[in-house]
Structure 1
């Protein structure tokens, strides 16, 4: 096994051991599509296309995972979405 393969194997194990969480955005009858799209771009660093797709999923499916990562990284983003009046939670 090469050094590169060994390092990749160690990275793969660490990624499996790192708990992943998601910010789930829920549908509401208050916020406009444009407002939600702008929030996802500014808070979750989505591209316009990502934000539009997530907003459509939230509207038609009732919810959508909009960001994945470690809890400590997601918590301030989720709080910001909530401060903007969006219904979001970390799961």
Structure 2
């Protein structure tokens, strides 16, 4: 029989590990860039599969934005810069 996980075992997690992934890369909708260009950008910059990039692009179009990747600020900032360098709106925000 497996031992049940108790809350006290979860307290061993370093707080730094939790905070390190506490940001999200948001891509914003615009009326300029094509679906194909945004999909290509997400695959090139974020390493998304074609399906994942297409799903994110649909969400960006219909919802106005989409969180395309989570991680630390230091990890996401260069990705954000690469996306904005291509003329697509993107920001790094803290997870709430």
Normalising by the smaller structure, the TM-score range is 0.7 to 0.9
**Contact map agreement 2:41 2:83 (CA 8 A) in 1:** yes
TM-score (norm 2): 0.80
Deviation at 1:47, TM superposition (A): 0.5
1:85 aligns to what? Answer: 87
Deviation at 1:31, TM superposition (A): 0.3
Stretches (4+) displaced over 4 A: 11-14
1:31 aligns to what? Answer: 33
Q: Which consecutive residues of structure 1, in runs of 5 or more, have no partner in the other structure?
A: 2-6
Q: Which consecutive residues of structure 2, in runs of 5 or more, have no partner in the other structure?
A: 4-8
TM-score (norm 1): 0.84
1:65 aligns to what? Answer: 67
The answer to whether structure 1 residue 74 and structure 2 residue 68 are counterparts is: no
1:4 aligns to what? Answer: none
Other structure's SS at 1:24 match: strand
Q: What is the RMSD of the two structures over their aligned residues, measured on CA atoms?
A: 2.3
